[in-house]
Each structure stands twice: as structure tokens, then as C-alpha cells.
Amino acid sequence: MRKLVLFLILCPFLSCKQTQITTDTRFNFNTTSIQQRLDKDLNRLTHDELGGRLVGTVGQDKAADYLANQFKQMGVKPFYTTYRDSFMVKNKHAYNVVAYIPGKNKSLSKAPLLIGAHYDHIGIDKRTATATDSIANGANDNASGTIAVLEIARYFSENPPERAMIFALFDAEEQGLLGSEHLAQRMKNENQELYGVFNLEMIGVPLKAQNYQAYLTGFDSSNMAQLFNNYTGSNSLGFFEKAQEFQLFKRSDNYPFYKHLGVPAQTVCTFDFGNYPYYHHVKDEMAHLDLEHMARLIQVFQQGLTGMVNAKENELKFTN
């Protein structure tokens, strides 16, 4: 998320026992295989070769290639002519990576559900550099959300949904939500309808001191959490006071779609300002992430999203 350094200073470290995730037995997948794929994808996206995935760099171009190839290998087709949705950032080429699974119900699929995450980071960080490392590889921010989107896409490629689904990995979030802004504007100009947006941001470590698994920004703006929790049969997505206090709803890639397309668009996150001390830091490395937590949380996402995309009616609505 953007511009959280001040918030980190203002918020105390939390230390209570973490909440355990429970899922419907129908979604009790083999977490070992999920963790193995997460490990592989994290290793690639956080490798020093990619230079911290800064927009417009050779490393970020390699990241876009890797993500497009992952979609291709799982049989998820590009939403546009190619996987790359190209735009410019200060004379530098930038690329959203956008894939698509057509829905079985043509009527519902006129308005797909978009699953998103930003895959860029900040590159070299002199502020937190050490004698041996200056590359901010962005494991939690936001390789964690990016690889979760890949896992969700993989699941629905094997379990085709009734409603179409778009999988969008955004570039240039760190420059001011530029990738999501570009895609939202493009979809508006092309009269592309959306059902809603489920965006993932910094999910690499579990929440603490909460009775839900992740928080949802803009919690009261729609019935997304209620629907999702009904489908998982647990308190999966909850309200986080600091998300409201710091207006996080407007600080991640959900917001441009709400602003331009007028659909429920919200971000799911487990970063609580106290459970991960390496925001925008060279130590934001995969070694600090909890892959078991991520695998189990991804199961929750797959379960809740299955209910949302297979519902026979347009249930997702604004509440105020």
C-alpha cells in the first residue's frame, strides 16, 4: 500500500495470539502442493535479478514475462490480444498483466469479477540499505498478493466458474495506483462492465488479535464481506478500524475501479501495522513470510470466491 510510513510510526506493535483459519472440508486441499508453488513463485519474483521490480526496468519486464507465462501454462487466456496491458509512466514502458476465464453462464459473464494485486515494488532503497543489500524485493508488498492471484486463477482454471473472471496484476502501484488507474479508465472507455473487484494486498503473514482471517477495506460500502463469509461459513473477512482511520480504501488498486466504473471494489489485507516490520524495506524478503498461513488463506479465498462467481443472481451490491 502507498504512503504508509507515517502510519507505521503511529501504530503500536501488536503481540496477541494469532487467529487460526478454518475452512469447509470441501476446500481442504493439499496445502503442501500449494506451498511448493508459492515457494517457487516467491523465489522468482523476489530474486535479486529482478532488482526490486521497479516500474520501467528490465527486472520488471522479466517479472511481467514470468507472470504471463504462469497464466499461459495453466491455460488461462489473455483478456486482451496479449497478456500485457501497456501504458507509459514518465516515458517508461509499464505493463499490467491481465488474464481471463470465461464463465459458463453467458448472462452473468457480461460483468466479470476482477481479482487483482499489484506486482511492482520500489527497486533500490537507499534509505534502508545495508552494507550487503540495497534491493527492496517486496516479498509481502506485494509478491504475496500476486502469487495468491495466480493460485486463485489456477483453481478456477480447473473448476470453471459460472461468471467470467478477470485476473489483473498491476504495475506502477507504488507510483500512485497508475496501473489500476490505466486499466479502469480503459475498461470505462471500452464500456466493459464489471461485477466487482477483489484486490489482494500484503497477505504474507497472519493477523494478530483479531477474530477474522483478513480485513476488507471499505468494509461498510458493500455487502462483499457478508456474502463472502456466508459462503465460507466463518468470519473470514472483518472490519479493521485502522483501515478506516487511514482511508486504506483509497490507497490500493481497488479504488480506481470504484471511482471510474462505480462497482463494489475492495482490498483484502493481513498487514495490521504491527505484524510485519519490513514495509518498504530491503528486509521484505520471502524468508519472513508464512507460506502455511498463505496456503490456508488462499483456500479461504477460493471458497468464498466460488460462492460469489457461482451465484445465480447479482448478489454483490453497495450498502450505502
Range of the domain at 127: 5-310
The pairing of strands 265-269 and 237-238 is unpaired
pTM greater than the 0.75 cutoff: yes
pLDDT score recorded for residue 37: 98
Q: What does each C-alpha distance from 219 to 8, 169, 269, 271, 320 come to in angstroms?
A: 21, 23, 12, 16, 11
Q: Does residue 181 contact residue 256 with C-beta atoms inside 8 Å?
A: yes
Task: Express each pLDDT in 129-161 by its tens digit.
Answer: 999 999 999 999 999 999 999 999 999 999 999
Q: Letter for the amino acid at 141? A: D
Position of cell 495470539? 17
Q: Does residue 246 sit within a domain?
A: yes
Pairing status of strand 135-136 against strand 265-269: unpaired
Domain membership flag for residue 316: no
Output the domain CATH number for residue 67: 3.40.630.10
What are the two backbone dihedrals, phi and then psi, of residue 296, each rounded to the nearest 5 degrees?
A: -70, -40
CA distance 92 to 82: 19
Sequential pLDDT tens for the chain (320 residues): 654 544 443 333 333 333 333 444 555 656 899 999 999 999 999 999 999 999 999 999 999 999 999 999 999 999 999 999 999 999 999 999 999 999 999 999 999 999 999 999 999 999 999 999 999 999 999 999 999 999 999 999 999 999 999 999 999 999 999 999 999 999 999 999 999 999 999 999 999 999 999 999 999 999 999 999 999 999 999 999 999 999 999 999 999 999 999 999 999 999 999 999 999 999 999 999 999 999 999 999 999 999 999 999 999 999 97
Q: Is residue 185 part of a domain?
A: yes
The predicted-structure confidence for 221-234, as pLDDT tens digits, reads as follows 999 999 999 999 99
Place of cell 471511482: 259
- Number of domains within the chain: 1
* 291-310 helix and 224-232 helix, angle to the nearest 10 degrees: 110
Q: What is the pLDDT of residue 2?
A: 55
Residue 182 covered by a domain: yes
User: Is residue 317 included in any domain, yes or no?
Assistant: no
- E strand or H helix at 166: strand 165-170
- Torsion angles phi and psi, residue 91, rounded to 5: 70, 15
* Structural domain contains residue 237: yes
| 318 is a domain residue | no
Asked, for residue 54, whether it belongs to a domain, the answer is yes
d(CA 67, CA 42): 11
